Amino acid sequence: MNRIRRRSFLKSLGAAAAASTLRPQLHALSSFVQEPLSATYTAPPILLNQLGYLPNHAKLATVLLAKMPSQTTQPTTFRLRSENHAVVFEGKLSTPSLDAASGDTTAQADFSSITKPGLYQLDVEGTLSDLFTIAPTVYAEALRLTMRSYYGQRCGCVVDLGNGYHHPACHHDGAFDPTSGRSGSVPNTGGWHDAGDYGRYIVNSGITTGTLLWAWEMYPDALHSLKLDIPESGITLPDFLAEIKWNLNWMLSLQDPADGGVWHKQTSLHFCAFIMPQDDHLPSEIIGTGSAPYKSTCATADFAAVMAIAARCYHPFDPTFAARCLAAARLAWTWAREHPNVPFINPPTVLTGNYGDPDCSDELIWASAELYHTTLESQYESAFLDSIKPLLPNLKITVPSWNNVASLGLWAYAFAPRHKLSPVVEAIQQATQTAAAELIARTRTSGYGTTLSLADYHWGSNSNAGNQSLLLLVANYFQPNKATVDAALSNLHYLLGRNCFGVSWVTQLGQRPFQHPHHRPSAADGIVAPWPGLLSGGPNAYGGDAIADALPKAPPMRMWLDDQRAYSVNEIAINWNAPLVFLLAAANSSRP
């Protein structure tokens, strides 16, 4: 990793800076060492997962025919070479076809039959790919880094990831904003910074934390002894749960003890500059709707769902904490049932992220389902069944996102222990297989093996790919099928290099990881390489910031650039990393 530091260089200028006459000179010098804001990529002719592939799963690389040296005939065959250049496999490329998402004409090299661990290289009639690995542990470090990135996002404590990625405790000054219906100061209670900004938002924390805790329940062999090297390591909880507890504690602090409702977010009133978190002295305010009841339905219901899951996950390790989570979930659920339609939109005084969602019926479905799963009490089951009644005649599974958690609710209900399948559970399972089949089919028509449809390339599309993989993995959980897991992994290959830029969309992973996330610590820390383990939002065909909007119009997968300023395509966010952690947990599990 080329990590050039400029801090010590600037430090050596400290004495000079003291003399004000030398200031202009310092400015000139510091702009001379200014990090670039962006980078461009030229895709190599053979695109693959830059980390490599699992021995017992599909292995496909994408060949960009336009990038092949000009020959009289197009290549039709490929060879797989081992580290010592010996040919271990020869195959035919698939018939070339136009990939609508990128505008590229591609062919696929399928070498799935090779299962022997080792280092390999593809050879397409003389053109060589990057070296890559086939091994059962090929994604072990990816899982560790992407999960450890949550420690990097922590608010309110010293963070030290090593290699210079550190900051002292931040955002000490918490307060109730008048929009919360309260006043006075509040101590910082932790949580994760949402994204490239330093806000903390319940709705987004909800799906993030719920997704991670589901991974904990579904892939114990990959996560229960995962080492994250965090301050709590080796104390009482497994590392994975200890990291998540940091965020749960903050979420708990946003519940109004008076009535169980949950405030929407805790942020400054506007976004701070591109500075380190400890340098952001804007007060971190608990923000509400601005009028009674001040708390909002989506936040409260998401909170109830997450606390109900937490009650299950923490029970074996910390029953007291688990009981606290369950009590909080019950109170929140009751509040949300009594206030089913309190939306959140930013009050006029507030300019940070909205996470506004006018329809909280899906959040309520999720809350009832998780509370039923945890307690098996009939009040939660009847509420769940009542609320899905309108959906049942034509039950559809949709891809989860921060503003649509309906499927999480349906699945949570289907996961609850029971003696025999009910018609509702059967309908949920059936709808999941139908949705999965459509995604599997897309991986076969996409030149890059992604499940994304042309319309799916919106703000955070990489997380959409991640959540489509989550859907596939849930389908596989109901009904194990190798093709379903392969389709889920196919998006991992897309995210880690098999895309039209040949870029790995996770910082510090793979041979060509992106470099310039819209992430304040990465920009302000004086280290060239960004903080590790963070997923870029990815291509966004709908626009959203000045830099991305200036891109020439192109097919949707091409609407991305690696530019720190381009927040609508290159920010990072906790809810985008979460489905990636989920997918990597499955990839590291012997029972995905």
Instruction: Give me the active site residues, please.
Output: 197, 518, 562, 571
59, interface contact from Zn ion, ligand 9MR, none, CB < 5-8 Å by kind = none
Task: Using DSSP, state whether 401 is helix, strand or coil.
Answer: strand
Nearer Cβ to ligand 9MR (357/486): 357
Beta-sheet pairing, 118-124 with 77-82: antiparallel
Q: How many residues bind ligand 9MR (CB under 6 A)?
A: 14
Choices 115-123, 257-265, 290-298, 350-358; region in contact with ligand 9MR by CB under 6 A: 350-358
Cα 312 to the chain's mean position, in Å? 23
Paired tokens of 118: 């080792």
Measured from the CB atom, the residue of 75 and 196 that comes closer to ligand 9MR is 196
d(CA 284, CA 277): 11
Residue 338 CB neighbours (<10 A): 13
527 binds Zn ion (CB under 5 A): no
CB of 398 to ligand 9MR, least distance (A): 15
> In 44-162, where do the E strands start and end?
46-47, 52-53, 60-64, 77-82, 87-92, 97-99, 104-110, 118-124, 127-134, 159-160
Indicate which single residue of 132, 192, 246, 271 sits in contact with ligand 9MR (rule: CB under 6 A).
Answer: 271
Among ligand 9MR, Zn ion, none, residue 567 binds (CB under 5-8 Å by kind):
ligand 9MR
**Contact code string over 57-96 relative to Zn ion, x by CB under 5 A:** ----------------------------------------
Cα(555)–Cα(272) distance, integer angstroms: 34
Nearest partner of 50 among 119, 111, 109, judged by Cα: 119
Q: Report if residue 199 touches Zn ion, rule: CB under 5 A.
A: no
Query: Which member of 214, 567, 580, 588 binds ligand 9MR (CB under 6 A)?
Result: 567
Q: How far is the CB of 574 from Zn ion (least distance, A)?
A: 13
Residue 277 binding partner per list ligand 9MR, Zn ion, none, with a CB distance cut-off of 5 to 8 Å that depends on partner kind: Zn ion
**Judged by CB under 6 A, does residue 460 bind ligand 9MR?**
yes
555 binds, among Zn ion, ligand 9MR, none (CB under 5 to 8 A by kind): none
- Which CB sits closer to Zn ion, 10 or 157? 157
How far is residue 573's CA from residue 140's CA, in Å, rounded to a whole number?
21
CA quadruple 468, 117, 497, 106: dihedral positive or negative? negative
Task: Give the shortest CB-180-to-Zn ion separation in angstroms.
Answer: 19
What does the per-residue mask of binding to Zn ion show for 143-172, with x meaning CB under 5 A? ------------x--------------xx-
Alpha helices in 420-507 (DSSP H): 423-445, 461-478, 482-495
The interface partner of residue 381, options being Zn ion, ligand 9MR, none and the CB cut-off 5 to 8 Å by kind, is: none
Task: Please report, as residue ranges, which positions from 184 to 203 form the binding site for ligand 9MR (by CB under 6 A).
Answer: 194-197, 199
Q: Per DSSP, what are the bridge partners of residue 97?
A: 106
**CB 587 within 8 Å of CB 567:** no
Q: How far apart are CA 578 and CA 147, in angstroms?
A: 8
Q: 302: which residues sit within 8 A by CB, 6+ positions away?
A: 202, 203, 205, 206, 207, 210, 363, 366, 367, 405
CB 301 within 8 A of CB 367: yes
Could you give the CA distance from residue 475 to residue 336 in angstroms, rounded to a whole number? Answer: 30
Question: For residues 192 and 384, which CB has a smaller minimum distance to Zn ion in the complex?
Answer: 192
Q: Among the candidate windows 59-67, 216-224, 566-574, 579-587, which touches ligand 9MR by CB under 6 A?
A: 566-574
Interface positions with Zn ion (CB under 5 A): 155, 170-171, 277
Interface positions with ligand 9MR (CB under 6 A): 194-197, 199, 271, 353-355, 459-460, 567, 571, 573
